[in-house]
Structure 1
Amino acid sequence: MYDLLSGLSVIEASSFVASPSAGLYCAQMGAEVIRVDQIGGGPDFRRWPVTGNNDSLYWENLNRAKKSVALDLARPEGRELLQALVRATGQVITNFPAKGFMAHDVLAQGRPDLVTVRVMGWADGSPALDYMVNNAVGYPMMTGAGPEPVNHVLPAWDLLSGAYAAFALLAAMRRRVETGAGSEVRVPLSDVAIGTVANLGGIAEVLYERENRPRLGNAVYGLFGRDFVTADGVRTMIVVVTPRQWANLVEALGLTQAIAAVEAERGVSFAKDDGLRFTHRDALFPLFDQAVGARKHADLAAALDAGGVVHSAYRTMLDAANDRTLVADNPIFGTAENPSGFSYPAAGAFATVPQLERQAPCPAPRNGQHSEEVLADRLSLPAGEIARFIDAGIVGVA
């Protein structure tokens, strides 16, 4: 947690991953993020993984450092309160539909400088999940050995869209400072996905080649990189990105003469050309399979570390959670009083600002925990009126 965005208040009306992660990143940098949900929790409130008491560890971590307001959004009064909070605050992150009571032109009535950032599925407004978008841009057909597609378990497009939405919010707010004008910024997962494919050269590649890239298993496209198994059965990934790393890897494995023989036979030099190492992987990989397979992992790791060669053994997520460097001794982690009651390392801001003191991660709120506080502060509602809303089931409290 840092105070870089202190003084900024954002309403977040959202669920699942992309939109809540945008609010999370703002909150971790010090913004007051007020998440508005249905009383009892939105559609992601019990999403797995959950504890034995059915508390969502997913929800608990995507909503750290936020405030929670619970409203009955199925009733006109609840929707009007959400609209009023948006107008009073001036900026909102949401993945609600572009039409309806959360439409930008509806929300901007009486608040023309409103900034709305809307995370969407498809650009036409129809719904989509990360996994559908990923299928549409072709990545599952590039991974694995084939011919079956291989889905990725990481919701990459959700996370990229969330980060882009947080950036878009600040960009639109800066424009408002310069011009006084509000705006709606739409961030479709599908556009983030296909735009990223294009930024990485993928669109240009397949149109130039007039065919799809062949599946490579665990080999890295365009570089020397792949998984190898050591003598004691440790599978480890080795990737070379610089001429120095290549030279040090070849020396560490005692392959100088064998590599020279391949170069002489094929009339090439691997010293400074990533592409040639990739093109001739059919000759190189067997040599490295044999050399790595003759070394124990500890000895190999020490030799590669000494040469500055990038490598990493494959591990489980439980292994990573118990890694002191990654978690226990990592300053991005801290402890918090979690609503679930389960104590574990909680992540704060991923970035580190050496000039500022890092604050401890904050807990997620309970559903409706800040309803009374926010309605009083933001809408100046008297206590009696708030109490009537609560008694009528329009406002929920923790």
Structure 2
Amino acid sequence: MPVQPLAGVTVFENDSFVAGPSACLALSQLGAQVIKIDPIKGGPDIDRWPITPEGRSIYWGSLNRNKRSVAIDLRSEEGQELAQALITSPGDDSGVFVENNVGRPFLSDEVLRAKRADLVHVKVQGSADGGPGVDYTVNAEAGIPMITGPTGVEGPSNHALPAWDLVCGQAAVTAVVTGLYHRRATGEGLYQEIALKDIALAAVANLGWYTETLQPAGERTKHGNHIFGSFGTNFATGDERHVMVTAITRRQWSNLVKVTGMSDVVAALERSLSTDFTEETNRYTYREVLEALLKPWFASRTANQITADLEGSGVLWAPYSSLGEVTQDALAGDGAGVLRTLESDALGTMLVGASPIRVDGEYLADEKPTVFGADTAEVLSERLGLGSAEIGRLCDEGIIAS
């Protein structure tokens, strides 16, 4: 097993949904001990879909695996004090807190820092002004749905991937590591806030897409499955599969023309249009013409035949797969890649992703499922020194999960 870079670091977490939990999952995969503090009946995502036939959340179980789970009545004064004591408990390995709370003043930075001055505190927000926001509303505000979807279709098209949540989670990982580095260098804590909306706006701006709207052509229109500014689209195969083919570079375009046997036809088309398809701009301008030219080649072949023709050809392509197909391919593999199986009493066989950061060429994949509230007594004993009698009282009074 490779060395885990964050071994010896303890992170406390109080959050829900994607950004914060995905950040803390990533920290745990890099070796940190993550202790998740939740309301005694679970946070708002405790039952979120997808779910098993028994109603258990695959979503929660996947994002919160590899963590120790503590369940406390955070509405009670004693429960709030327990949470504060855990987050600010002494030790060089601790004093790190990730959260996305709204309306929990007892977990504010001011309150917690008064108890531990060197706290590394990362807060995920909806917007920088403290207002709410989730990936789907933030994406709408960022403008992306207005350029997503089929050509000629008016109105927005949402997509399924919570991209900004995931990017925000990785920004939160960076913030934690930054805070740890700052504390080691100065002895001081650090409070950092990350707004989901800022993540989206900054990312789109850094791609140049807002600046693009200031140019004479104005705002971009929808392009369906075509790649903007280059040549790339999907093609149907003869056995009703689909492949994505791209030709971003000159070499990729040359290889595509060669392997499809279109060299003479493309040369004639260039002459008739007085254009040069080795230039990326021209491939984009005539994308629909080129799509129509290449479509019969793909339609006359099965997916297996296309795979045989394109593999090793230098063409950049990939077959479209369903989620189920990806799952079955991973289960049939040797288990050495980024996708791994994890057995859970509550969820059965899970297919999870190891940390995509390979250390010395190896994935960090030593994980375990998390059971909600199962670590409450043990963590309170270890971190706060509570004895069995006190823990029993807290259980009896409903302050902590029994």
Shorter-normalised TM-score: what interval?
A: over 0.9
Aligned partners of 2:307 and 2:372: how far apart in 1? 48
Q: Which residue of 2 is the match for residue 83 of structure 1?
A: 84
Q: 1:172 to 1:180 in 2, by over 3 A?
A: same
User: Which residue of 298, 303, 312 maps to 1:292?
Assistant: 298
* Structure 1 position 263 matched with structure 2 position 247: no
Q: Which residue of 2 is the match for residue 249 of structure 1?
A: 256
* Structure 1 position 115 matched with structure 2 position 120: yes
Q: Which residue of 2 is the match for residue 17 of structure 1?
A: 18
Q: 1:335 to 1:268 in 2, by over 3 A?
A: closer
Deviations 1:111-139 (A, max 9, x none): 11111111111111111111000111111
Q: Which residue of 2 is the match for residue 189 of structure 1?
A: 196
Aligned partners of 1:282 and 1:368: how far apart in 2? 56
More displaced stretch, 247-256 vs 206-215: 206-215
Q: Which residue of 2 is the match for residue 31 of structure 1?
A: 32
Residues 144-223 of structure 1: pairs in structure 2 closer than 5 A: 144-145=149-150, 146-209=153-216, 211-223=218-230
Letter in structure 2 aligned against 1:162: G
Deviations 1:27-80 (A, max 9, x none): 111100000011122111111111122111111111111001110001111111
* Alpha carbons 1:68, 1:368 under 8 Å: kept: yes
Deviations 1:7-29 (A, max 9, x none): 00000001111111111000111
SS in 1 for 2:11: strand
Q: Which residue of 2 is the match for residue 372 of structure 1?
A: 377
* Alpha carbons 1:332, 1:347 under 8 Å: kept: yes
Give the CA RMSD over aligned residues.
2.0
Q: Which residue of 2 is the match for residue 50 of structure 1?
A: 51
Aligned residues: 395
Instruction: State the 1:210 CA deviation.
Output: 6.0
Q: Which residue of 2 is the match for residue 101 of structure 1?
A: 106
Aligned partners of 1:74 and 1:381: how far apart in 2? 21
Letter in structure 2 aligned against 1:340: A
Q: Which residue of 2 is the match for residue 139 of structure 1?
A: 144
Aligned partners of 1:135 and 1:33: how far apart in 2? 32
Letter in structure 2 aligned against 1:143: T
Letter in structure 2 aligned against 1:170: V
More displaced stretch, 341-350 vs 170-179: 341-350
Aligned partners of 1:164 and 1:152: how far apart in 2? 22
Letter in structure 2 aligned against 1:284: L
More displaced stretch, 186-195 vs 337-346: 337-346
Provide the TM-score with structure 2 as the length reference.
0.93
Aligned partners of 1:244 and 1:385: how far apart in 2? 71
Instruction: State the 1:341 CA deviation.
Output: 4.6
* Structure 1 position 347 matched with structure 2 position 348: no
User: Which residue of 373, 376, 400 maps to 1:395?
Assistant: 400
* Structure 1 position 237 matched with structure 2 position 244: yes
* Structure 1 position 275 matched with structure 2 position 281: yes
Deviations 1:175-194 (A, max 9, x none): 11112221211111100001
Letter in structure 2 aligned against 1:186: E
SS in 2 for 1:336: strand
Percent of aligned pairs with the same residue?
Answer: 38
Instruction: State the 1:265 CA deviation.
Output: 2.4
* Structure 1 position 386 matched with structure 2 position 387: no
* Alpha carbons 2:357, 2:364 under 8 Å: kept: no
Structure 1 spans left out of the alignment, 5+ residues = none
Aligned partners of 1:107 and 1:377: how far apart in 2? 20
Aligned partners of 1:161 and 1:258: how far apart in 2? 47
Aligned partners of 2:214 and 2:334: how far apart in 1? 47
Provide the TM-score with structure 1 as the length reference.
0.94
Deviations 1:262-320 (A, max 9, x none): 2222333222x222211122332221123322333322222221312122222211111
Aligned partners of 2:293 and 2:343: how far apart in 1? 53
SS in 1 for 2:148: coil
Letter in structure 2 aligned against 1:289: K
* Alpha carbons 2:9, 2:33 under 8 Å: kept: yes
* Alpha carbons 1:320, 1:326 under 8 Å: kept: no
Instruction: State the 1:331 CA deviation.
Output: 3.0
More displaced stretch, 94-103 vs 231-240: 94-103
Aligned partners of 2:98 and 2:289: how far apart in 1? 52
Aligned partners of 1:197 and 1:341: how far apart in 2? 37
SS in 2 for 1:208: coil
Instruction: State the 1:169 CA deviation.
Output: 0.7
Q: 1:225 to 1:107 in 2, by over 3 A?
A: same
Instruction: State the 1:326 CA deviation.
Output: 8.6
SS in 2 for 1:33: strand
Aligned partners of 1:175 and 1:348: how far apart in 2? 28
Letter in structure 1 aligned against 2:193: R
Instruction: State the 1:99 CA deviation.
Output: 6.6
- Report runs of 4+ in structure 1 exceeding 6 Å deviation: none
Deviations 1:154-181 (A, max 9, x none): 1111111111101111012111111222
* Alpha carbons 2:127, 2:197 under 8 Å: kept: yes
* Alpha carbons 1:335, 1:361 under 8 Å: kept: no
Aligned partners of 1:307 and 1:325: how far apart in 2? 28
Instruction: State the 1:328 CA deviation.
Output: 5.5
Aligned partners of 2:46 and 2:266: how far apart in 1? 56
Q: 1:357 to 1:228 in 2, by over 3 A?
A: closer
Instruction: State the 1:355 CA deviation.
Output: 5.6
